[in-house]
């Protein structure tokens, strides 16, 4: 199997030093293994994605010395692939529509049961309010303007009908490290994922998918063998592994890397325009200077 990595930015702002680090890491790992490095544009959020940010991504990555095969996969053009998967999950009884607003969810969670977490790595843990109306679902999937959630319990029962969720074991190979240094073979149970993330959103309103669904479907479609990305996505990988099992898709190896942080130890975000690659370029910096900045673990940014 070809060693294949990818860099999957969202064109919702300028690439910053953290993106440069991640892209270069994926690029170098593929090169070292005589493999392939792909670029994928994650633009499902059409309300925030902008063509000018996408153009800037191509420009910045080329300036950094990276190259990738054409055509580039763009998630906004993948609606048909996501529809197929959503139809099949709907007919398996693994999805339900959710009409809760964020404020409804917060209100229910404001009276948490003792010992039950309300906030997980995917945000607020959905209390399952709309799940009870699941039996009233129409036979065909509602198409637009509706949020679809994964009935996690039903999904796990689908994966392994005879095994209780706390005995269902999932695993993936980590060749980098998670935020607490987790590495090698990472195992967890179905119950661990249910308790830490709850019924996740699988299709966001008017988007026809969610990050979790799209990333799993597209990593498989692009035959990615090694997913290289920041350690902030380590916990999300558990969701992805369960979805891969549910959809009969292969689980790639994962390589989570350290995050680039600013002087206050805060991870860089898109709004940190001052750390944008384009800004460094405008100031006359060379790519090799960017890379030597990134090599320094105690990144000291002005
Ligand atoms: N589009 C995601 C981001 O920009 C990438 C997630 C991933 O690499 O799986 O954070």
CA distances from 224 to 107, 196, 205, 284 (A): 40, 26, 28, 35
CA distances from 271 to 15, 61, 260, 291 (A): 10, 19, 14, 21
Helix axes 211-221, 79-91, angle to 10 degrees: 110
Scanning 135-259, the segments in alpha helix (DSSP H) are 152-159, 190-197, 211-221, 236-246
Q: What is the pTM of this model?
A: 0.94
CA of 173 from ligand 1 middle (Å) equals: 19
pLDDT in the model for residue 143: 79
* 107-127 per-position pLDDT tens digit: 888 887 767 778 888 889 999
Kindly state if the Cβ of 42 falls inside 6 Å of ligand 1.
yes
Are the CB atoms for 120 and 198 separated by under 8 Å? yes
CA dihedral 29, 31, 33, 38 (to 10 degrees): 70
d(CA 268, CA 19): 9
HSE (side-chain half, CA atoms, 13 Å) at 188: 20
* Partners of residue 178 on adjacent β-strands: none
Structural domains of the chain, ranges and CATH numbers in brackets: 1-77+260-302 (3.40.50.620), 79-222+235-254 (3.40.50.620)
Are the CB atoms for 170 and 121 separated by under 8 Å? no
pLDDT in the model for residue 52: 97
Can you tell me which atom of ligand 1 is nearest the CA of 236? Answer: 9
CA of 8 from ligand 1 middle (Å) equals: 5
Which residue minimizes the CA distance to atom 5 of ligand 1? 8
pLDDT in the model for residue 295: 83
Q: Which residues of the chain have pLDDT under 70?
A: 114, 269-274, 297-302
pLDDT in the model for residue 302: 43
pLDDT in the model for residue 274: 61
Query: What DSSP assignment string belongs to 110-146?
Result: TSPPTT--SEETTEE-B--GGGGGGGG--SS---SS-
Kindly state if the Cβ of 259 falls inside 6 Å of ligand 1.
no
Are the CB atoms for 41 and 57 separated by under 8 Å? yes
* 59-114 per-position pLDDT tens digit: 999 999 999 999 999 999 999 999 999 999 999 999 999 999 988 898 888 887 76
């Amino acid at each position: 199997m070809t060693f294949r990595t990818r860099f999957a930015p969202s064109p919702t702002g300028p690439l910053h030093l953290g993106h440069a680090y991640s892209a270069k890491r994926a690029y170098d790992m593929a090169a070292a293994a005589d493999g392939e490095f792909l670029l994928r544009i994650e633009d499902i959020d059409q309300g925030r994605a902008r063509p000018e940010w996408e153009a800037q991504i191509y420009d910045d990555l080329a300036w950094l010395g990276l190259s990738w095969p054409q055509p580039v996969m763009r998630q906004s053009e993948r609606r048909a692939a996501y529809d197929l998967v959503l139809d099949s999950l709907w007919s398996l009884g693994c999805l339900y529509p959710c009409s809760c607003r964020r404020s409804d969810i917060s209100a229910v969670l404001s009276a948490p049961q003792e010992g039950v977490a309300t906030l997980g790595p995917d945000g607020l843990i959905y209390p399952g309010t709309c799940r009870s109306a699941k039996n009233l679902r129409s036979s065909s999937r509602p198409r637009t303007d509706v949020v679809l959630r994964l009935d996690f319990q039903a999904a796990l029962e689908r994966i392994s009908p005879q095994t209780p969720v706390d005995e269902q074991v999932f695993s993936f190979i980590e060749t980098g490290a998670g935020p607490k240094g987790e590495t090698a073979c990472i195992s967890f149970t179905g119950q661990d994922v249910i308790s830490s993330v709850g019924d996740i959103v699988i299709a966001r309103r008017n988007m026809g998918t969610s990050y979790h669904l799209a990333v799993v479907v597209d990593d498989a479609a692009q035959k990615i063998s090694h997913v290289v990305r920041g350690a902030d996505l380590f916990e999300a990988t558990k969701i992805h592994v369960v979805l891969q099992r549910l959809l009969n898709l292969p689980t790639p190896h994962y390589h989570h890397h350290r995050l680039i942080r600013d002087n206050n130890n805060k991870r860089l975000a898109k709004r940190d325009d001052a750390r944008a690659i384009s800004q460094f370029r405008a100031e006359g910096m060379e790519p090799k200077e960017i890379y030597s900045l990134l090599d320094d673990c105690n990144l000291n940014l002005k």
